[in-house]
Chains A and B, each alone.
Chain A
Amino acid sequence: MRSENRALWQSVYLVIVVAFCAVVYASSKHINYNWNWQRVVPYLINTEPQSVRAPFDGTAKVSTDDKTLTLVPDAGGEPVVVKKFSAISVNDGDLIFEGDQVATISNWRIGPITEGMITTLEISLASLVFAVIIGLFIGLGRISRNLAIRQLCITYIEIIRGTPLLVQIFIFYFFIGTVLSLDRFTAGVASLAVFTAAYVAEIVRSGIQSIPPGQMEAARSLGMTYVQAMVNVILPQAFKRTLPPMAGQFINLIKDSSLVSVISITDLTKAGREVVSATFAPFEVWFTVALLYLVMTGALSWMIQRLEKKLAASD
């Protein structure tokens, strides 16, 4: 494309994006919504100083260099030395009562939204690993020459793909989870892994079948067993071809992980819901949650693209 056209369409794109944002802003104004982004920040990272409170009634003693604070109980007993603080809120010799703030600590703590995001990452990563392992074997079984194995794998894929993930999560948690006494995290990971594995299996199968049969023949004619040929020749090539659809599936997995909030796992989505009821700032919170999902899926898709580039060396 010629350069002036490029600049033209680039600006058309920007105008459309800016117009869309303006529409969103205008409609929020229209319903008298007051944007208040600051309210979300403490739920991401809490930078507020934490109070250190007196555990009993007594007297405060501050050392001359202001480095240690000692609390002497009125009732007798061992004095308490407060070591970690950033500012002392009492003077030497002050009487203190139980629950009084005696010092503050400026301590960065992650907020519930960030904690939810970490949970989402943990669940996604754990189920991704299991989904790939299960999916690989189901995919290989799907093209097995043994009829029983093949039909078992087809049954698995059809059942899992034919029922909603939400229903599967309930079944895993309430039925399988009860039978095997799984905790909710394990049940959540298991249902996501089993669900994603069905799709991974189909991707693996199509990847293997896209490799020309001559590759298997060449490997076998060199004396390799079926397994050796798969491991050394077919799968490395299939892996490369399946990366783009795999990336899509993994992104789906991260997004689908939001459904585990129905079994009371405090993932990013559930944390968002809780923060909304605490802040009454639904727009800001949900936009923030969406952005955090986008950061996770974007990072994953970027990593897979880099891997693709690296593997493209032999093309």
Chain B
Amino acid sequence: MHLQNAEDIIIAKDVDKIYPNGCHALKKVSASIKKGEVVVIIGPSGSGKSTFLRTLNQLETISSGSIVIDQVDMYGKNTNINKLREHVGMVFQSFNLFPHKSALHNVMMAPLKVSKRAKSEVEEHAKALMKKVGLAERMNNYPSQLSGGQQQRVAIARALCMKPKIMLFDEPTSALDPEMVGEVLDVMKSLAKEGMTMVVVTHEMGFAREVADRVLFMEDGELLVEDTPDKFFHNPTHPRLQRFLSQVL
């Protein structure tokens, strides 16, 4: 089923997650994601989709199973999780920008402190990224002076400045006012076009249909369906997916 392929940049195998309180959040989830692929995970709330995404950079540890990122076993004895995370960018639902730093310094912090890159090079890169997300004018603003959509775009630039190989998006538009969803999705679309490997948990069905190479459907901690967006939305065969789609579409 999931053959170990050199092209697979993420290989999750039989991932189980049981919280100390007994909640079984992930049940034997297996998925592989190829380099350059855009994978969207959809499912009702509490289905474990965010938990699964967070296991991919070990913000959540797993109870059993294995996760291999870019040929590195995440739970291997010699794996430095911080090194691994440098190449896995993450964008959060609540932005989580650092409020005590200006937008530009939010973007520059990790490359300077973690990667120890030269300041002039980082500054140039950060400014280019701020321009790319359309915020060249707001670089010196503090997060509190930016709208939600602008903050989320800074958060994307911040993750990109680490030159990640994979970008994880955890419901990036769920906390936004409706009129700001578009600007964030546009940035994500252009990122997808450039060939970034992306795993996106979202409720934006339009984005999934338009941009995704594959769509995964999760419910009750199980990965039930993985299919191309075309078949996923127009020809759903799984009864639980059919029921879910009839509720949200």
Contact = CB atoms under 8 A, between A and B. Distances in A.
A214 B83 contact: no
Nearest to B85: A223
B59 A220 contact: yes
A313 interface: yes
B51 to A, nearest CB: 13
B243 interface: no
B94 A214 contact: yes
Contacts of B115: 223
Contacts of B82: 220, 223-225
Interface in A226-240: 228, 232-233, 236-237, 240
Contacts of B113: 224, 228, 232
A234 to B, nearest CB: 10
A262 B90 CA distance: 58
Given A217-B96, A237-B99, A314-B142, A223 B90 contact: no
A279 interface: no
Which of A221, A225, A233 has the largest number of chain B CB atoms within 10 A? A221
Contacts of B92: 214, 217-218
How many of chain A's residues touch chain B, expressed as a range? 20 to 34
Contacts of B202: none
Interface string A247-268: 0000000000000000000000
A232 B88 contact: no
B162 A218 contact: no
Contact of A314 (B85, B94, B101, B162): B101
A218 B98 contact: yes
Contact of B110 (A214, A217, A223, A311): A223
A78 interface: no
B100 to A, nearest CB: 5
B142 A222 contact: no
Main secondary structure of the interface of A (DSSP, over half): helix
Contacts of B104: none
A309 to B, nearest CB: 15
A8 to B, nearest CB: 38
A289 B20 CA distance: 59
B96 A215 contact: yes
Contacts of A224: 82, 110, 113-114
Interface residues of B, number: 30
A258 B114 CA distance: 47
A233 B101 CA distance: 9
Nearest to B57: A221
Contacts of A183: none
Interface in B54-76: 57, 59
B144 A221 contact: no
B246 to A, nearest CB: 34
Given A214-B92, A232-B113, A220 B100 contact: no
Interface in A269-315: 311, 313-315
B94 A315 contact: no
Contacts of A214: 92, 94, 96
B89 interface: yes
B158 interface: yes
B100 A221 contact: no
9 contacts: A220-B82, A221-B59, A221-B89, A223-B85, A223-B86, A228-B113, A236-B100, A240-B100, A313-B142
Interface of B: 57, 59, 82-83, 85-86, 88-90, 92, 94, 96-102, 109-110, 113-115, 142-144, 155, 158-159, 162
Given A223-B86, A232-B109, 18 more contacts: A212-B94, A212-B96, A214-B94, A218-B92, A218-B98, A219-B98, A220-B82, A221-B59, A222-B86, A222-B89, A222-B110, A222-B162, A223-B115, A223-B162, A224-B114, A237-B99, A237-B100, A315-B142
